[in-house]
Structure 1
Amino acid sequence: MGYSTFLLFGANHAQFSLFAILIFVLTETLVMYFFIATGKSMKTILSEQGHLNAEKLWDKVKHIKNIVFPHIMFTIFIIGGLYIFYFGYIKSNTSNTPLAYSWLQGPLYLLGLFHHIWSLKIKNDSFKIQIEIISEMSTNLKS
């Protein structure tokens, strides 16, 4: 769509890209909210119900957050920055003069794409660890 001139759902490249980025940011925010909300619930359960390994499990939860959040934020930053760079710098060039940094668009896109794929693996692994922690919490509660 970016290199050709067809419309998708009646939207041009800039409009569709903005919509796609908003959906992307929304989904990444929901993933962050999942880890924040489950972490808060876990902390409450561990502190109120007196879990046997409360400190160890809480450290695992914090470790997961330390792994996941930087990758999510970097992915949002690079994809959002790519949109701003492309439509704010490259497409806004009305003088048709060669732009000094227009060559960065391709590598930034590839960086964003590959980092997003890598962060999907990290998020999937973190979900698995989070579920393991929840299952361990349910088996080791003090009576």
Structure 2
Amino acid sequence: MKEKFNKIYLWTAGIVTALGALPFMIMPLKATKSTLGIDLSAQLDIIPLVAHWGVMVTGIGVFLCVAAMVPKLRKSALIYATLEKLYMVGLLIYFMLTNSEISDHYLLIFAVDSSLIIGAVFYYFLNKEKNKRIT
């Protein structure tokens, strides 16, 4: 049961993460407009940052998929991915409290990343006993 959940969670988190960020990697200007409703055509100087984020998060998604097949990579993949998602969720909570106009664009990312964080916490507690035996 644990191993089945582990693989399903890692594959799901990896695919959602990779495919969610892939458009930002390939065509950041169009993806930002269609996905987030933010027009960056007047701010072309930040397009490399958006594309860089897309590459990084797509890579995290691929790393999670590889970790689903290679158990030795799971701990590092989950730590890295969960920290990235915690940062994004924390940033969005900050914007929700201070500037709701900005946060409105990121509600989908907030929901997905929050769900993946909950899944990572569930993964940790499900495998806690296993981790104690290894150390």
TM value normalised by structure 1: 0.45
Q: Is the radius of gyration larger for structure 1 or structure 2?
A: 1
TM value normalised by structure 2: 0.47
Looking at both structures, which has the greater relative contact order when contacts are Cα pairs under 8 Å and sequence separation is at least 6?
1
* Structure with more helix by fraction: 2
